[in-house]
Amino acid sequence: MARGNTYSDVGAMFDVNYHTVSSWTRRYRESGLAAFGVAPGRGRRRRVNDQELEHYALQSPRNFGINRSRWTLRLLVEAVPSLRGFSHAGVLYALRRCGISYKRGQAWMLSPDPEFEKKDR
């Protein structure tokens, strides 16, 4: 626009409608470069209540009437009200956003060596 191009010319350069270029120009004149930042409150609202997820995930499932020692993604979907209808990938994403990492339980066994405990220390 500063070089004398029309809204249509600039729109063709960026593959947008001339109304879009007009809107960009107006916003730039009103607020400068700050007009093109992402405004707070934009986008879809979160469906997951982070405090609720943490409340469940950081406790034993037994505290919620589930006879298991560890959470599974399926159990979290069933137990946490704000996770109802989520896929396993969606649950993982929500856990990561809360800073909770999901790790699978792994089977382990002690050494059959009778001196194991002495050596382990």
36-75 pLDDT, tens digit each: 887 777 778 888 999 999 999 999 999 999 999 889 999 9
102 pLDDT above the threshold of 80 = no
Spatial CA neighbour of 103 closest among 82, 76, 64, 72: 72
Report the 10 Å Cβ neighbour count for 80.
Answer: 22
CA–CA distance, 70 with 88 (Å, rounded to integer) = 16
Q: How is the chain split into domains, by residue range?
A: 1-43, 50-97
Q: What is the pTM of this model?
A: 0.54
28-37 pLDDT, tens digit each: 999 998 888 8
Write down the pLDDT at residue 2.
82
7 pLDDT above the threshold of 80 = yes
